[in-house]
Amino acid sequence: MGVNVAIVGATGMVGNTFIKVLEDRNFPVDKLYLFASSKSAGKKLKFRENEYTVEELNENSFDRDIQIALFSAGGSTSKKYAPIAASKGITVIDNSSAWRMDENIPLIVPEVNPQDISWNKGIIANPNCSTIQMVVPLKPLHDKYKIKRIVVSTYQAVSGAGKKGVDDLERSLKGEPNQVFPYPIANNCLPHIDVFLPDGYTKEEMKMVNETKKIMNDDSIKVSPTAVRVPVEISHSESVNLEFEKPYEMEELKDLLKNAPGVILRDDPDNNIYPLATIAKGHDEVYVGRIRRDETVYSGLNMWIVADNVRKGAASNAVQIAELLIKNI
């Protein structure tokens, strides 16, 4: 038996990808409802062999037989409508940052903390894209060697800013002025994602600090982040430096990664094999490579982590959470 699914923000970058990932992963959808703003009402979108009409989201949208609602329509829409949906017995999986740090709401990466689904009260938060792809390969290493500190620099694709971000890269490549990013994104790297906070970090960077602790269920992990926007359409890359409490053997560590759920090891420098944005694009796995010991500290490691930010960083992670939910229905 299938479930009835609603997508809120169906016309957006992630919303569109929800539809694709539901298809690709063969999610058992019975009925599908698509919602967006008034601007998109009446638009038709295809799912499997059928066309569906986008409806304007309103307070009565959830008065239907819906079991799961996937939200990606921005924080204010989630703040307003996720509790309405939850009050009607629908489980919301929300891709915005609105609920992530609420202590009554689980923040889930299925490969890392699937058990946290058990205490959801109708809303489950999907983490930030950069955090998701980092914690997937770090989880087995943390379990075995205990991570003390993470120093991470991100190289984030413009699709992280939605369709507007992709349009801005296209404009910038043609020499036209940017509308979303504060400086030209063509031929540039912008060390600025989301707003600056009083301490000089950006909100995006602090998401990586706080969400990592919550997902790994360990407040002792220190995270020192720098988030950078780069002129890549899809897939975020990350340079990650780790400091472990316990010593490790390189072969054993690589075996842990090789066998980790959702991880693909691409680590053969002699043959120029390492993760790339273009390789991760379109996939749900997290790619890991350039694995090497950091000789400057006791038990240190450097690695390069790449994943499709729209899929594993958003839509696929949310659909994987929905897969966990239906296992428990």
- Joined together, the tokens standing for residue 326 give 């239906």
Catalytic residue among 142, 189, 192, 236: 236
Catalytic residue among 129, 142, 189, 283: 129
> How many Å apart are CA 68 and CA 237, to the nearest integer?
31
The residue assigned the tokens 């489980």 is: 91
* Annotated binding-site residue? 14: yes
* Annotated binding-site residue? 290: no
Give, for 9, the enclosing helix (H) or strand (E): none
> How many Å apart are CA 87 and CA 110, to the nearest integer?
25
Q: How far is the CB of 291 from ligand A2P (least distance, A)?
A: 34
* Annotated binding-site residue? 282: no
Q: How far is the CB of 309 from ligand A2P (least distance, A)?
A: 12
* Annotated binding-site residue? 159: yes
192 is known as an active-site residue: no
283 is known as an active-site residue: no
Beta carbon nearer to ligand A2P, 36 or 301: 36
The residue assigned the tokens 């420098």 is: 269
Binding site for ligand A2P (CB under 6 A): 9-13, 15, 36-37, 39-40, 57, 73-74, 77, 162-164
Beta carbon nearer to ligand A2P, 40 or 91: 40
> How many Å apart are CA 168 and CA 41, to the nearest integer?
25
> How many Å apart are CA 183 and CA 190, to the nearest integer?
8
Beta carbon nearer to ligand A2P, 13 or 152: 13
* Annotated binding-site residue? 40: yes
Beta carbon nearer to ligand A2P, 212 or 235: 235
Q: How far is the CB of 40 from ligand A2P (least distance, A)?
A: 3
What is the DSSP track for 158-213? GGGGHHHHHHHHHHHHTTPPPSSSSS--TT--BS--SPBPTTS-BHHHHHHHHHHH
* Mutual angle of helices 129-145 and 203-216, in 10-degree steps: 40
CB 299 within 8 Å of CB 246: yes
Q: How far is the CB of 165 from ligand A2P (least distance, A)?
A: 8
Catalytic residues: 129, 236
Q: Which residues are annotated as a binding site?
A: 11-14, 39-40, 100, 156, 159-160, 229, 309
Residue list, annotated binding site for NADP(+):
11-14, 39-40, 159-160, 309
Instruction: Enumerate the known binding-site residues for substrate.
Output: 156, 229
